[in-house]
């Protein structure tokens, strides 16, 4: 069972790697078009450059279920799975099953195509037709009928219920939901746990709900910003909490954080895991609560601080990011222990050990 789940995770992550360029490009086109006063065109009579950009971006977002289905099926069954996977994504779009429908459809048709490749025996003359005609056609028929007559209704109902739940949250519920998504989404700095809520945010964005994506983008920057602010605050109040080696890592983690890469915090967190995770995850939660409750939305799934101007309510986006980072900094200074001079200067100790190891002055040949 564990192997199956790991395989599914691998296929989903593969499809997301193909999906991200589409989502980033389409999201930026929508953002640029909207900032310039564009809207989705109803006909060529409405044609302007901003409206053209917005329209192309919206069309690109509409391809998300097809991309996710097509490349999941490709990851499972190789080239014979691509066309059936894209068709299942189109089917999901027709059913209004969105991102989840494309994901489920891609998995189903991918494994059906793989089974046909492995177990369907055909005469020698027909073997050349397997990848081009037989596998795509048969797998599409089987998976399409399953999607239409078995899974279509439940998928649509679940997607509609989830979208309604998110859009109908009141202010206090938005605070709670934003805190939870921000907290879980940063708890392991881009690892397996955080990918779950981040995938949900991407799925909601595919369905036209952009608030959770704002949480994902901004909260991912809180850990590196927070440890940087924590270092500055610790020096300001003369309470050393970071070793010299950690300070060097923070100098690397901060510019990574500007680009929405939170993995730079991992070397710092590993030296004091519990206290660091508590501080950063609470800061991420506070950031998520603020930005979601104040209506911050992001139509671009990555890009760090560079996409903040394209968000709705960018001022509140900056406030949420800074407040969450400051909360992390204050918690780090409060709960991390004060380091002694010997503990701080670990780089010197490392250099001394290295010199001792390579000192060959006493070596002689007789």
Q: Give the pLDDT confidence of 114-152 residue by residue, as tens digits.
A: 999 999 888 888 888 898 999 999 999 999 999 999 998
Comparing 43-47, 174-178, 243-247, 322-326, which segment has the lowest mean pLDDT? 43-47
**Percentage helix, strand, coil, to 5, in the chain?**
80, 0, 20
Question: Which band of pLDDT confidence, cut at 50, 70 and 90, is reported for residue 306?
Answer: confident
* CB of 41 closer than 8 Å to CB of 102: no
Average confidence score pLDDT of the chain? 87
| Mean pLDDT within 165-184 | 88
Q: Print burial letters for 275-309: b (CB count within 10 Å at least 16), e (below 16).
A: bbbebbbbbbbbbbbbbbbbebbbbbbbbbbebbe
Q: Which has more confidence, 156 or 109?
A: 109
Residue 332 to residue 234: CA distance in whole angstroms: 9
* CB of 335 closer than 8 Å to CB of 274: no
Q: How many CA atoms lie within 13 A of 288 on its CB side?
A: 31
pLDDT at 366: 46
Question: What sign has the CA pseudo-torsion 15, 161, 63, 256?
Answer: negative
pLDDT at 139: 96
Nearest to 103 by CA among 6, 200, 4, 184: 200
Q: Give the pLDDT confidence of 192-226 residue by residue, as tens digits.
A: 678 778 878 877 887 788 899 999 999 999 999 99
| Mean pLDDT within 329-352 | 78
pLDDT at 110: 95
pLDDT higher than 70, residue 358: no
pLDDT higher than 80, residue 7: yes
Q: How many CA atoms lie within 13 A of 173 on its CB side?
A: 6
Phi, psi of 358 (to 5 degrees): -100, 5
* CB of 203 closer than 8 Å to CB of 19: no
Relative orientation angle of helices 152-167 and 192-206, to the nearest 10 degrees: 90
Phi, psi of 214 (to 5 degrees): -60, -40
68: CB partners within 8 A, 6+ apart: 15, 16, 19, 89, 99, 102, 103, 106, 206
pLDDT at 362: 54
Q: Is 207 helix (H, G, I), strand (E, B) or coil?
A: coil
Q: Give the pLDDT confidence of 60-82 residue by residue, as tens digits.
A: 888 888 999 999 999 999 999 99
144: CB partners within 8 A, 6+ apart: 87, 88, 91
Percent of the chain with pLDDT over 90: 45
- DSSP code for 63: T
Q: Print burial letters for 238-250: b (CB count within 10 Å at least 16), e (below 16).
A: eebbbbbbbbebb
328: CB partners within 8 A, 6+ apart: 222, 223, 225, 226, 227, 229, 230, 279, 280, 282, 283, 284
Percent of the chain with pLDDT over 70: 94
pLDDT higher than 90, residue 179: yes
Residue 215 to residue 197: CA distance in whole angstroms: 10
């Amino acid at each position: 069972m564990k192997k199956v789940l790991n395989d599914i995770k691998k296929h989903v992550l593969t499809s997301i790697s193909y999906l991200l360029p589409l989502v980033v490009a389409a999201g930026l086109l929508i953002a640029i078009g909207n900032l310039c006063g564009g809207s989705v065109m109803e006909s060529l009579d409405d044609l302007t450059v901003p409206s053209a950009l917005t329209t192309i971006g919206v069309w690109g977002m509409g391809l998300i279920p097809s991309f996710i289905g097509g490349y999941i099926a490709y990851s499972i069954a190789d080239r014979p799975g691509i066309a059936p996977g894209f068709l299942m994504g189109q089917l999901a779009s027709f059913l209004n099953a969105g991102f989840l429908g494309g994901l489920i459809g891609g998995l189903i048709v991918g494994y059906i195509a793989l089974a046909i490749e492995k177990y369907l025996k055909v005469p020698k003359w027909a073997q050349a037709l397997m990848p081009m005609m037989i596998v795509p056609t048969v797998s599409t028929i089987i998976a399409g009928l399953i999607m239409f007559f078995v899974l279509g209704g439940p998928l649509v109902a679940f997607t509609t219920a989830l979208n309604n739940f998110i859009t109908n949250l009141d202010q206090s519920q938005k605070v709670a939901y934003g805190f939870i998504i921000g907290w879980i989404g940063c708890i392991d700095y881009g690892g397996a746990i955080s990918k779950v809520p981040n995938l949900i945010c991407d799925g909601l964005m595919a369905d036209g709900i952009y608030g959770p994506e704002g949480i994902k983008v901004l909260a991912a920057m809180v850990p590196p910003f927070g440890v940087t602010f924590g270092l500055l605050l610790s020096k300001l109040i003369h309470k050393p909490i970071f070793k010299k080696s950690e300070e060097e890592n923070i100098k690397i983690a901060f510019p990574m954080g500007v680009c929405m890469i939170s993995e730079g915090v991992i070397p710092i967190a590993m030296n004091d895991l519990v206290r660091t995770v508590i501080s950063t995850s609470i800061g991420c939660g506070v950031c998520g609560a603020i930005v979601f409750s104040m209506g911050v939305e992001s139509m671009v799934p990555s890009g760090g601080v560079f996409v903040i101007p394209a968000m709705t309510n960018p001022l509140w986006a900056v406030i949420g990011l800074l407040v969450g980072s400051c909360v992390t900094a204050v918690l780090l200074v409060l709960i991390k222990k004060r380091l002694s001079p010997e503990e701080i200067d670990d780089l010197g100790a490392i250099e001394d050990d290295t010199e001792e190891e390579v000192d060959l002055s006493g070596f002689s040949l007789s």
